Amino acid sequence: MPSSLTEKQILRNAVLAKRDALTPDFRDKAARTIAENYADDLNIQSGQVVSGFWPIRSEIDPRPVLNMFRERGALICLPVILNKTQICFRFWQEDQALVPCGFGTMAPDQTAPTLRPDVMLMPLAGFDKSGHRLGYGAGYYDRYISNLHNQGHFPELIGFAFSCQELPSVPDEQHDVPLEKIVTENGLRFF
């Protein structure tokens, strides 16, 4: 196993411990702050397909922002783990019942249409000032985005996190796809 994977795991453990230490009240306020203060800056248009995620463990909750985008006419989808290497994104309607889909996440069931995101709000363990994203290590998003790029589709990639998840540097590998933006409770940054 390359040493960069070991380094990534060490960084992942450290930054997730910081995130886990945030109080539930802080997490709720941060999610509302992003929705109230920075959602407009993301420039989501009516008709765009926006992927979000169902928050697990101590992740920031994107649902307040996703609900705002839905009200503005965006089509919202959530990731679904299909197998050990693949995900897809299924259309998520307001008040739709969700089912467990792996790793503690929830998503629409197989009757929901599969969509191809134009904008991806991406969960992450950590990020750095260059827009490199430290994921959870399974590579689902990297493979999915690479596949979209091979098809000529280039969604906008926006990290969605708490500011405490910033790292001095994230080791990047050839398959890693950098973010274009990151939004935290402290604002929106472009890379």
Binding site, annotated residues for ATP:
8-12, 133-141
Helical spans, DSSP H, in 107-154: 140-150
Binding site, annotated residues:
8-12, 59, 133-141
**Spatial CB neighbours of 10, under 8 Å, sequence gap ≥ 6:** none
**Spatial CB neighbours of 12, under 8 Å, sequence gap ≥ 6:** 125, 126, 134, 136, 137
Binding site, annotated residues for substrate:
59
**Spatial CB neighbours of 30, under 8 Å, sequence gap ≥ 6:** 22, 60, 162, 184, 185
Per the structure block, which two tokens stand in for 63?
């649902």
